Structure 1
Amino acid sequence: MQARLANPADRDALAAFHGQGFGPLPAEAARDGGAADVLLVLEDAQGVLAGYALLRSPSLAAHFRRGVSVRRVPLAGIDRKLATLTLCNDLCDAARLCALRVAGEGDPAAAAAAVLLGAVQETARREAARFGRRLYAALPGVQGADGDAVLWQALGRHFAAQGQAHLDGDAAALAELLPQHTLYAGFLPAPARAVLGVAGDACRDVQGWLHAAGWQASDYVDPFDGGPVLLWPDGGAGR
């Protein structure tokens, strides 16, 4: 298998491709063959489309950063560590891996993902002026039985009256509506606390692919669904 830049001739194959991974392919990317940002496609030995990855240059980004607030009063016997969530824009200088999908399952899918991720990372190295010094990927978080994100039901919906669909995944827009001060995670319902930094079932394999390619866990989570944010390379941010 080999990865290359997409071109207009890939349009139909991209539009019809269904593989496992994360992130939808924007309609304009499939139509223009990667004119927006950088769209890489993976071909098998017969020249058949076997996957794609979409890399977006740095832009305004908003995430929750998980932290700890210590409350210590020795004379009163108080010594507590409280988990916190703080809205931040720490990753505005990082390029985003918006989508990664490959055909197949198991080891073949992992091998295909490794080739694609290698091409993504090489592209970022080669065009450092465009993509910055690090990359990040925000994996979808845990959904409830009703199909809505568990964290959204506990937090986001109280501040975004228009609903999650209206925001169309725009984390920066959601951040403008959420409280700007530090939140104590302990105030969230237990199910919402439990999903912070946890990838949804459909993305557990993707998380493994990213780890195998050198991407590292961080203290950042998606403000919509609490999904984990992985960094490559780890420049120390969020750790």
Structure 2
Amino acid sequence: MLVLRPIQKTDFDALKTIAVESGHGFTSLPVDDELLSNKINRSVESFAKSVSKPYDEGYLFVLEDTQTGEIIGTTAIEAAVGMSVPLYHYHLGKTVHHSRTLGVYNTVDILSMCNDYTGSSEICTLFLREGHRQGLAGRFLSRSRFLFMAEHAERFSDTVIAEMRGVSDEHGHSPFWQWLQEHFFSIEFPQADHLVGLGDKVFICELMPKYPIYANLLSPEAQAVIGKVHEKTKPALRLLQKEGFEHRGYVDLFDAGPTVEAKLDNIRTVRESFKGEVEIVASLPDKLPSLAISNGRLDAFKATFTDQAYLCEAEEKIQLTAEVANALDVTQGELINAFKL
């Protein structure tokens, strides 16, 4: 059975393997032992911390195959971004050049650097290893984060964002960055991306253009990728769009990938989740719809998905087999949360 749980210090080797496999553009998991160790320690401390409102906590989860002990995926939530290190975006807006005398009216797209998402919660670091991407695992890994956030809403902002990986080639080169590099920088995209992953963002203030950029002055290749996602990121974007996330014109500074947003209470998983008492049963009918289920705890959080569970909405109960109850570490009569995958 696949169980999502908070990362532990003993998961370091598994996390590093995932960091290596994630490749270029996955800045939240750079291949750096010290940084990965710090991420794990920060997560452990965040789960243990008493919180009344979000600040700078980070919650990192792993998806474990309980039969083999293998870690097959990871995902994370940042409680409030930009609080200790500034979070930068470009916002795609418009400006009008109008001359009544000449009869000219031109609307031009502009990119303005901003920190508008400061204090928002961010879902991030979603990665499922090759060989495990069939079936419902990816959908579960994405949506189960929202159950955790709803169960511990005091730890998160009302606004939730997700930065989507932008377009780059097999060597990690971004058409958008190539234009910026030519005019403002002297470093390659993978190096800039790596520095951001390490938390070193000083160079952004030092070298990024301070004034709005006219999008029509960019190369055709750079213009074509503004607000577009990497081919491998399209499934993740579709999942978030089904949850109610929208793109409101904010894009990444380096690869111009879109940042999407939603209000926590409006997210589909949060709205459709069902809370009920555990009822452990000997067996259940075949061909039940798959449910994602969470035990609702904090540092002992566990979630899984299964077709060996049934929602008894009229009785406000969730029937589980003993195997599923054991995987979630829950007992008869305990309150848990579920939603239909």
My pick for the range that moved more, 170-179 or 197-206, is 170-179
Q: For residue 164 of structure 2, what is the amino acid of its counterpart?
A: L
User: How much does 1:24 deviate?
Assistant: 4.7
Q: For residue 90 of structure 2, what is the amino acid of its counterpart?
A: F
My pick for the range that moved more, 209-218 or 163-172, is 163-172
Q: For residue 168 of structure 1, what is the amino acid of its counterpart?
A: L
Cα distance per residue 1:181-205 (max 9 Å; x no partner): 1111011011100010111122222
User: How much does 1:163 deviate?
Assistant: 4.9
Query: Are residues 1:119 and 2:144 paired?
Result: yes
Query: Are residues 1:137 and 2:162 paired?
Result: yes
Q: For residue 146 of structure 2, what is the amino acid of its counterpart?
A: Q
Secondary structure of 1:220's aligned partner: strand
Query: Are residues 1:90 and 2:116 paired?
Result: yes
Aligned to 2:44: 35
Q: Highest CA radius of gyration, 1 or 2?
A: 2
Cα distance per residue 1:195-221 (max 9 Å; x no partner): 101111222222223223332223111
Contact preservation (8 Å) 1:54, 1:98: yes
Q: 1:234 to 1:78 in 2, by over 3 A?
A: farther
After superposition, where does 1:221-232 map in structure 2 within 5 Å?
A: 221-232=251-262
User: How much does 1:45 deviate?
Assistant: 5.9
Q: 1:211 to 1:29 in 2, by over 3 A?
A: farther
Question: Over aligned residues, Cα RMSD in angstroms?
Answer: 3.0
Q: 1:228 to 1:112 in 2, by over 3 A?
A: same
Tell me the distance in 1 between the aligned counterparts of 2:227 and 2:111. 12
Query: Are residues 1:54 and 2:76 paired?
Result: yes
Secondary structure of 1:217's aligned partner: strand
Aligned to 1:233: 263
Contact preservation (8 Å) 1:159, 1:178: yes
Runs (4+) of structure 1 exceeding 6 A deviation are none
My pick for the range that moved more, 4-13 or 133-142, is 4-13
Aligned to 2:94: 68
Higher relative contact order (CA 8 A, sep 6+): 1
Aligned to 2:103: 77
Q: 1:143 to 1:93 in 2, by over 3 A?
A: same
Cα distance per residue 1:66-115 (max 9 Å; x no partner): 0111223344221211011000100111122231011346642xx22322
Aligned to 1:213: 243
Selected match of 1:155 from 161, 180, 185: 180
Contact preservation (8 Å) 2:61, 2:76: yes
Tell me the distance in 2 between the aligned counterparts of 1:159 and 1:19. 28
After superposition, where does 1:19-30 map in structure 2 within 5 Å?
A: 22-25=26-29, 26-28=35-37
User: How much does 1:19 deviate?
Assistant: 6.8
In the superposition, the TM-score normalised over structure 1's length comes to 0.81
Q: For residue 208 of structure 2, what is the amino acid of its counterpart?
A: L
Counting aligned pairs with the same residue, the percent is 25
Q: 1:203 to 1:217 in 2, by over 3 A?
A: same
Query: Are residues 1:168 and 2:169 paired?
Result: no
My pick for the range that moved more, 170-179 or 135-144, is 170-179
Contact preservation (8 Å) 1:215, 1:234: no
Tell me the distance in 1 between the aligned counterparts of 2:200 and 2:107. 28
Tell me the distance in 1 between the aligned counterparts of 2:42 and 2:72. 15
Tell me the distance in 1 between the aligned counterparts of 2:5 and 2:139. 14
Contact preservation (8 Å) 1:151, 1:226: yes
Aligned to 2:294: none
Tell me the distance in 1 between the aligned counterparts of 2:151 and 2:103. 56
Secondary structure of 1:132's aligned partner: coil
In the superposition, the TM-score normalised over structure 2's length comes to 0.59
Aligned to 1:14: 15
Q: How many residues align?
A: 233
Cα distance per residue 1:38-62 (max 9 Å; x no partner): 0112234635433210222322210
